[in-house]
Amino acid sequence: MIALAEHFPDAVLCFATLKHSLDQSEKELIGRVTDQSLSYEVDRRPFKPILILTNTELFSNDGPEITWNHAGAMYEDVASRYIGIRGLPEMCEETQRRYLS
């Protein structure tokens, strides 16, 4: 994935699972990719955004804020921070915070 990110610098990498969460080994592997890809610019957007989706996002008919607000207590922190004004880059940041911590 790191090689892919370097070869396609304008692409958004997406890790998706049909499970509710990532296991520890998945978090570590994806964490290595995100650690090497973060390069904050003036507006603090990730240079190479990485999106992480679980069944919570994949099977929702609503946008991220509504999905996370209705997903229960485990998602309250993400739902409260997410504004949506920056679109995909902001969603990448929030899914990384939610699923890699």
Q: What is the pLDDT of residues 3-54, one digit of tens each?
A: 887 788 778 999 999 999 999 999 999 998 888 765 545 455 545 689 999 9
Look-up of token digits 């003036």:
42
Supply the DSSP string of 47-90, one letter for each residue.
SS-EEEE-HHHHT-SS-HHHHHHHS-GGGHHHHHH---TT-HHH
- What integer pLDDT is reported at residue 47 of this predicted model? 52
Asked if residues 91 and 67 have their Cβ atoms less than 8 Å apart, the reply is no
Q: What is the pLDDT of residues 59-79, one digit of tens each?
A: 999 988 889 988 988 888 888
**Euclidean distance between CA atoms 11 and 4, whole angstroms:** 9
pTM of the entire predicted model: 0.83
CA 7 to chain centre: 20
